[in-house]
Amino acid sequence: MSGFQNARSIVEAVSTGATSAVDVLSEHLARIDEREAEVHAFNLVLREEALQAAQQIDDRIAAGEVVGPLAGVPIALKDNLCTRGIPTTCSSKILDGWRPPYDATVVSRLANSGAVFVGKTNLDEFAMGSSTENSAFGPTRNPLDTSRVPGGSSGGSAAAVAAGFAAMSLGSDTGGSIRQPAALCGLVGVKPTYGAVSRLGLIAFASSLDQIGPFTHDVADAALLLESIAGHDPGDSTSIPQPFPSLSESLTRGVDGMRIGRIVDLPAGADAEVVASVDRAFDVLASAGAEIVDVSIPAFTYGLTAYYLIAPAEASSNLARYDGVRFGSRVEAPDTNSMYMATRGEGFGPEVKRRIMLGTYALSAGYYDAYYGKALKVRRLMAEDFAKVYQSVDALITPASPSVAFPFGSKTSDPLAMYLCDTYTIPSNLIGHPAMSVPFGSGEQDLPIGVQVLAPEMGEPTMFAVAAELERAAGGSHV
């Protein structure tokens, strides 16, 4: 747990008049001024807009209004979330100059909750990466050790919170892009149940996998932020048409009587210090009254393979819209096809091109059944395996990342090594279940380790109860 003020205390202080939203924001902007050049968490800092929003909150409170559950809390937004009239780039040259005509649903909900947006954060281009080294605007550095990556693709959002630039942030998670950077930056990071949070206004990477979620310093803040953005949205056809469950009671519920699964056939590859932290997590939960149950999920080991066929296939379809005609940058050429090719050739970076080509190949005539079709069958097998396991356990524990934050450049020349960073996070995206990373222990150079808690669909209350128990044992914040 960092020494920065949590969001709940900010809300309390601002709402009661003990401090002002402007003063809170000014503290965060001062930290940005001090370290942003070194960290590069942001593509855009919204200094003037944020100060204006904070002043409006102070004025409303002075007038006796109830502002909302996030009154005056500085929040950073991943730069693939649409913000009306404010550049939204996905950290790609191809969206240069584009200003969305609308806000993402989560952005509107945060504004209505009294949040103050401090900026748009850097990411791996179109959310494709595990280190935030694939941005057209340069890499983001881990505030805990600037020689190392913050994780990805939501590395800017994680770095903004870890550096104290924002009290909370939003990222998106397609294969681990919230949980892995949360683990590497010592934060709580949550991927909610698919459909629990609206994707309207999230620029798509892989539509059946993408989900928006929070980065925070502690579990209670994550619950507060998730409750503020979750819930049905008629504008998103994949939104779950039922109320999102309350999480506040879960934070003090404990795990006594729960059955927590330990996956015996989990893929190897995690560092010894990560495995040791996960083992200690099981011991802590057992001491708190949970029963640890060994379970088998045979399809887990195929998650990485299935994901790197399904996600690129969806990306190749979603990214076809960037053609230089309707929005974003355009490279002039003698004819339309040449213009398409020149625009995409110049606008997309190497990793995005790699995944588009991989996805297009997997969907092509003669290969569809062999690759994409087979990957969908593996996805179904995985869903069945998890469903069977959740008949006998309430939650599962795994590593979030196979390692602590790794040095810049150490995996960029080997895409497969980079892809393996998501070994433990991908299955939850494939089956649509919630999962979260909680700081638990440390490894090399005293860098943080994240333990992942997994639960069945809409099992967030149970997941947060387990996470809060781990946080208490680790000496972190709790209610």
The residue from 2, 15, 153, 428 that is catalytic is 153
| 92 catalytic residue (yes or no) | no
The residue from 20, 177, 316, 477 that is catalytic is 177
| 177 catalytic residue (yes or no) | yes
Rounded to whole angstroms, the Cα distance separating 379 from 300 reads: 10
Rounded to whole angstroms, the Cα distance separating 245 from 226 reads: 10
The residue from 20, 78, 91, 92 that is catalytic is 78
| 78 catalytic residue (yes or no) | yes
Annotated catalytic residues are 78, 153, 177
